Homo-oligomer: A and B are copies of this chain.
Amino acid sequence: MSDQVPACLTAEVVSIGDEMTSGARLDTNAQWLSRRLGELGLQVKFHSTVGDTLADNVDVFRIAASRANVVVSTGGLGPTRDDLTREALAAAIDRPLVQFDSALQHIESMFASRGRQMPARNHMQAMFPEGSQEIFNPQGTAPGVDLKFDSGGRVFALPGVPAEMKRMFDETVSPRILKDATAVGSAGGSHIRHDVMKFFGTGESDMEERLGQMIDRKRSPRVGITVSKATISLRITATGNSESDCAAQIAETRAEILERVSEFYFGDGETYDQQHAIDQQLRIAGQSLSIIELGRAAPLGDWFAAIEPTTSYRGGLSMSAATDLMAMLETDSIEASMATIAKKFASDWVILVDEYPSLDPSADQPIPASDVSIFVYDPAGNLHQKTVKIGGHPSIIQPRIAKTAMQFLRQQLQ
């Protein structure tokens, strides 16, 4: 691990399209690119969003290329009249558009593979500002543009389609940036590797406090913290001269992280959440689970159903209140209801949430904490119960309850 402060390349992310400036679409590309650029060790200083107007695009590219070392844009590379990125780049750098034969051949072959002839308007997608490099697009007809401005910035123009944009960034743009960064001494080498660790059970600020200097942006490997509906992700990014160098750095950083916050750790991976950890553990034990959710939400049923592959999830039941549940099952207690469900669903474990509170959907303010009871019925027929107080913003409160329930279940599984 190196602690020296490297010279830092700066970056700007540009998003192009009327659908973004008008607010019709939420710009998630800029967020994704900002995280990736940060992981490469760059400091993202600006985002700019601009509509489909040529003069505005020219201005935005000129400003961006003069104030950032790396500019990554998305959008405006399609075949329609609204797609102005190539033209804007050529005007901003004052060079003509020229045809790249390799790009034209790729576009023609994309159409041929679908049994179609290339429409005339797609010809435009093979035109590049003189002096550009092509950015290969394995999934679509729009190649990207890689163009160095005299004012210092290097512009990478990518399509707006997220799947195409992400792949082109990871496969082509990221290595080119890493090469530039290494040349100016702001990155640790030619290889890059990521690792994502997942945590639940504390807040972001507590996590930051416990991690201390580990989340400093100048640390190497970098540790980035993000939070999505109360689940915390730590993304470790190592750069080095070989894959094994990166792997060794990541292993060391993981160990350091676990020394500080192991009690909240439950697994690895961008889309991994507690339901996956529970399913994995149940499958290993050859056991199964069913879920009862009472009150004004039923997220666990949806989350567990979506796990693939799962052989542990038997089914879920949602009802308004415990009284309704007992009436339907003809039982006289929560415990007896859970025993009945365990039998009916042939499941070893049952978890019950009683109950998700009523939320005013129009409120946009934190609501006070209220009591929620979580019950776990285990394979030996024992009932475990915990009551928690949960409040917060209405958009987060039901997921937080569901995730607290999963945390309690995980404790019983251990």
Residues of A within 8 A of B (CB): 15, 20-28, 30-36, 38, 44-51, 53, 56, 59-60, 63, 67, 139, 162-163, 166, 224-226, 271, 293, 295-299, 301-302, 305-306, 308, 313-320, 324, 328, 344-346, 356, 358-362, 364-365, 398
| Nearest B residue (CB) for A165 | B364
- Shortest distance between the CB of A65 and any CB in chain B (Å): 15
Instruction: Select A302's contact among B33, B297, B345, beta carbons within 8 Å.
Output: B297
| CA–CA, A355 and B409, complex, Å | 28
Instruction: Select A301's contact among B38, B139, B163, B298, beta carbons within 8 Å.
Output: B298
Q: Are A47 and B22 in contact (CB under 8 A)?
A: no
Instruction: Select A297's contact among B306, B314, B358, beta carbons within 8 Å.
Output: B306
> Please, which residues of chain B bring their CB within 8 A of the CB of A36?
23
| CA–CA, A319 and B344, complex, Å | 12
| CA–CA, A51 and B358, complex, Å | 37
A296-B308 contact given A35-B22, A361-B271, CB 8 Å threshold:
yes
Q: Are B359 and A308 in contact (CB under 8 A)?
A: yes
Between A and B, 23 residue pairs with Cβ closer than 8 Å are A21-B34, A22-B224, A23-B30, A24-B35, A25-B31, A27-B47, A30-B49, A46-B51, A46-B56, A47-B47, A47-B49, A295-B305, A297-B305, A301-B318, A302-B302, A305-B356, A308-B359, A314-B319, A315-B317, A315-B328, A316-B317, A317-B318, A328-B344
Q: Are B21 and A45 in contact (CB under 8 A)?
A: yes
> Please, which residues of chain B bring their CB within 8 A of the CB of A361?
271, 306, 308
> Please, which residues of chain B bring their CB within 8 A of the CB of A328?
315, 344-346
Query: What is the interface of chain A mostly: helix, strand, loop, or mixed?
Result: mixed
Q: Are A46 and B60 in contact (CB under 8 A)?
A: yes
- Shortest distance between the CB of A325 and any CB in chain B (Å): 8
A320-B313 contact given A162-B364, A271-B361, CB 8 Å threshold:
yes
| CA–CA, A25 and B163, complex, Å | 21
> Please, which residues of chain B bring their CB within 8 A of the CB of A38?
22-23
| CA–CA, A308 and B25, complex, Å | 28
| CA–CA, A60 and B63, complex, Å | 11
| CA–CA, A356 and B21, complex, Å | 35
| CA–CA, A225 and B18, complex, Å | 13
| Nearest B residue (CB) for A310 | B320
| CA–CA, A45 and B314, complex, Å | 52
| CA–CA, A246 and B61, complex, Å | 41
Between A27, A315, A359, the greatest number of chain B beta carbons within 10 A of the residue's beta carbon is seen for A315
Q: Are B364 and A271 in contact (CB under 8 A)?
A: no
Q: Are A225 and B24 in contact (CB under 8 A)?
A: yes
Instruction: Select A44's contact among B21, B308, B365, beta carbons within 8 Å.
Output: B21
